[in-house]
Structure 1
Amino acid sequence: MNSRGIAAEILAQVIGHGHSLTAALATSLPKLKENKDRAFVQAICYGVIRHYFALDFILAQLLSKPLKAKDSDIKALLLIGIYQLQAMRVKSHAAVSETVAASKHKPWARSLVNAVLRQYLRDTENLQQSCHTDRQASLNHPDWLVNALQLCWPEQYLQILIANDQAPPLTLRVNTLQGSRDEYLDLLNSQGIAAQTVDFCDTALVLDQPLAVEQLPGFLEGRVSVQDIAAQLAAELLDTQADQQVLDLCAAPGGKTAAILERQPRVKSVLAVDIDAQRLSRVNQTLSRLNLSAEMLAGDACHPENWAAGRQFERILLDAPCSGLGVVRRHPDIKLLRRESDIASLQDLQARILLAAWDLLKPGGILLYATCSVLKQENELQIAAFLQNHTDAFEIPIDAAWGEARPFGRQILTGTAQMDGFYYARLGKTA
């Protein structure tokens, strides 16, 4: 199977079977021996998924009838072919011939793939223009998501949609236990790697060009981690003091757990809890690389009576399960896999976890509520409802040079200052 065949296999898992792109890549990329082939396949897969709604609309114009569900691999190949011709530096004849060759496992499809791609080449301009006649294709998002963003952010939703379709920058969090950010910046520069500092985040560096983590000096020794700027803000907002007990709820994959320990090494204890034991193992891997340690426990955040053993904490980070609509640029498959009906159930889950977590917070303590969503119903409206029902809770305003102050909490919209979409609210408990 050639590289395009592997890419089609991956995309069929996402488009046809609802698997995440991350999981599908992890399963199929190891079949390719060469790094350049893996990079090529990854670029194709992210490109097709990122531009799926526009590509799918164009493909529909080129097919006399829709393909059967069992032929999702052929549909994926056709999308791959169109994307190459549209956006990649691949010669037209090579893109067509190699994509046709990848369909040889289904002989009937070879002529179809060849005809569709050659028709696209003949009528590229008209096909591209036709996208403007369809809202989903022109905005490259499902209608329900466009409507949801427009309702929440009538003046900014178009900028959010545009940001969602851009590849994100590679952002680093410097482990200040092993040296300052500026020292690490000097190390990068000495190796010809250009990066920029971030005024409002003293641990963040944004690389001018992304590269593999193995190429980052000191990565394996724990000098630096990959983490978006917005996610890095959590550790500072939590304001952990020496000798305090910290609970990190929904902790996997562990970036924020590590950042808490890097910022306050004299913390008394950190308990990282996640419902998924397999994902919790990633927290352990993250901390091990950084030479940090925390107690880890697999448990349901809605039911701390099963694992908390009566403990309470001075600081709680609740990185609540959410729609992920602030990180679409990193996980473009969210546009395909998330459903409008998911939002209400996520709101309910967030409310239940927040209620359970509140009982674990000591009087005088701080709970930091965080999501990687840009929907108000998961963020400021969730906090408004909680404060209305809890007389022992009060908001601690976040005065910052980033994001936008909301009636409750602070919202970052996707792409603002190169950040993912994120929301934070800081709650204090009456002493």
Structure 2
Amino acid sequence: MKDTRALAAAALAEVALRGASLREVMQRRAPQLADARDRALLSALLNEGTRWWLRFDAAVEGLLQQSIRSKEPAVHALLVLGLVQLEILQLPDYAAVAATVQAVRGLHRPRHAGLVNAILRRWQREREQHLARLDARAETRLAYPAWLLQAFGHDWPAAAERIATAGNGEPPLMLRVNRRRTTREDLRQQLQAAGYDASLHPWLTDALTLPHSTDVTRMPGFADGFFAVQDGAAQIAADLLDAREGMRVLDACAAPGGKTCHALERQQLDMTALEFDPGRARRIDENLQRLQLRARVVVGDAAEPALWWDGQPYDRILIDAPCSATGVIRRRPDVRLHRRSTDIAALQVQQTRILEALWPLLAPGGRLVYATCSLLRAENQAIVEPFLARQADAHPVAIELPAGEIAGPGWQLLPGDGDLDGMYYAVLEKSA
């Protein structure tokens, strides 16, 4: 039988110290646990361990006389998880400490059991002074890298603390109801009858909200394609795209296909879903099949349309551009560990290339929606404003949503606005 905490420690070391994707590691590790409760604990430990790594990694380093991070990465990660259990998950002290010490054996490092016990006991004795030390620096108080906190402060000075705090919270589980298969009210009643606390979103017409994450594959209606998981911020794309029956539509950078499917759930469209990565393109096919929808899935580079475009213009184009993902940190906490400030310039080049390359594919009178899940103006306004200045036939369309705020020619949702993820949108129309 696998020790869940040992499994979590080995997985967390992969994510935090070797740069592995949290999602990929979770998908690979979870099947090793047969019990659903153990899988839920693994998910909680991995997500919170990643989210709070920068705080409790520093705490462990401060408690040890000599660092073990490089020589014994899994044991170091286990110590981080011990503190996460005590401080974030707030498990009973005796259970958290005893189970964490026991997990050392599951890592096949029994000689470190005494060290793990001593460090966790020391934390309990000296907790207040260590918390004060961690709270004295923004990076360890909020568990964000310094460069990202500085970027929040530069771009959103009045909201920087709120942004960071929102990214440390548990996001709700948001579903997008497939209106071709059921109604939102019918699905809500079906879920509530099965014991799920599902409620109607107040202004997103296809959204249901649940307070906590769960295994959606076990929920009524999933296998029948009645719904998909999609944050409300991403569901706004279909509203802004405003695709009409029979229109020719391109969803660039489409994987895993949520926005493609949402548009098709509303209208019959001549839809092309473009994705650079063949593996991710298969995810689009899988989602289309489950939701009983049809689209043309094309593997290709959005910045090189000559390699895949058939020469017929599109009435609507959606660009969900590759970005820093700084708006979805509460769902993808490993972003704060893996993203670097030096990544932004390369992303800007990619974003500009895609926008410039796809604009000529838009029919006169057509609409293009530029979107990112970034909070950084460098990837949003700084991309769209120069493009508008260069492109005489491009005109911004004013956006006003019940949450968020104007951001140059577009609209910015900050994490937590309307209890949604962070997202930027700009809508551009081409002269007829």
> TM-score of the superposition, structure 1-length normalised?
0.96
| C-alpha displacement of 1:246 | 0.5
**Structure 1 unaligned spans of 5+:** none
Question: What do residues 271-316 of structure 1 show as CA deviations (whole Å, max 9, x unaligned)?
Answer: 1111100011111111111000111111111111111132321111
* Alignment partner of 1:125 out of 124, 128, 138: 128
Corresponding letter in the other structure for 2:205: D
1:346 aligns with 2:347: yes
**Structure 2 unaligned spans of 5+:** none
1:322 aligns with 2:318: no
Kept after mapping to 2: 8 A contact 1:236/1:263: no
Aligned to 1:21: 22
Corresponding letter in the other structure for 1:24: V
How many residue pairs were aligned?
429
1:152 aligns with 2:155: yes
- In structure 1, what is the Cα distance between the partners aligned to 2:210 and 2:10? 32
Aligned to 2:178: 175
Aligned to 1:272: 273
* Alignment partner of 1:110 out of 109, 113, 120: 113
Aligned to 2:225: 222
Question: What do residues 192-229 of structure 1 show as CA deviations (whole Å, max 9, x unaligned)?
Answer: 43222223211111113433213422111011111111
* More deviation, 114-123/273-282: 114-123
- In structure 2, what is the Cα distance between the partners aligned to 1:412 and 1:323? 15
Corresponding letter in the other structure for 2:367: I
- In structure 1, what is the Cα distance between the partners aligned to 2:236 and 2:430? 21
Corresponding letter in the other structure for 1:218: G
Corresponding letter in the other structure for 2:82: G
Kept after mapping to 1: 8 A contact 2:175/2:228: yes
Q: Secondary structure at the match of 1:362?
A: strand
* More deviation, 398-407/332-341: 398-407
- In structure 2, what is the Cα distance between the partners aligned to 1:216 and 1:70? 43
Distance 1:208 1:85, change over 3 A: closer
* More deviation, 194-203/54-63: 194-203
| C-alpha displacement of 1:89 | 4.7
- In structure 1, what is the Cα distance between the partners aligned to 2:400 and 2:7? 48
* Alignment partner of 2:245 out of 238, 242, 245: 242
- In structure 1, what is the Cα distance between the partners aligned to 2:360 and 2:282? 27
Q: Secondary structure at the match of 2:15?
A: helix
* More deviation, 132-141/286-295: 132-141
Aligned to 2:372: 371
Aligned to 1:36: 37
Kept after mapping to 2: 8 A contact 1:6/1:29: no
* Alignment partner of 1:184 out of 182, 187, 196: 187
Aligned to 1:163: 166
| C-alpha displacement of 1:382 | 1.0
- In structure 2, what is the Cα distance between the partners aligned to 1:130 and 1:119? 15
Kept after mapping to 1: 8 A contact 2:16/2:53: no
1:46 aligns with 2:47: yes
> TM-score of the superposition, structure 2-length normalised?
0.96
Q: Secondary structure at the match of 1:310?
A: coil
Corresponding letter in the other structure for 2:81: I
* Alignment partner of 1:259 out of 258, 262, 276: 262
* More deviation, 190-199/414-423: 190-199
Kept after mapping to 1: 8 A contact 2:171/2:212: no
Question: What do residues 136-159 of structure 1 show as CA deviations (whole Å, max 9, x unaligned)?
Answer: 111221110000010000001110
| C-alpha displacement of 1:129 | 1.9
| C-alpha displacement of 1:179 | 2.7
Distance 1:200 1:94, change over 3 A: closer
Matches within 5 A, 1:328-407: 328-407=329-408
Kept after mapping to 2: 8 A contact 1:15/1:72: no
Corresponding letter in the other structure for 1:384: E
1:142 aligns with 2:138: no
Q: Secondary structure at the match of 2:101?
A: helix
Distance 1:66 1:36, change over 3 A: same
Aligned to 1:66: 67
Distance 1:186 1:30, change over 3 A: closer
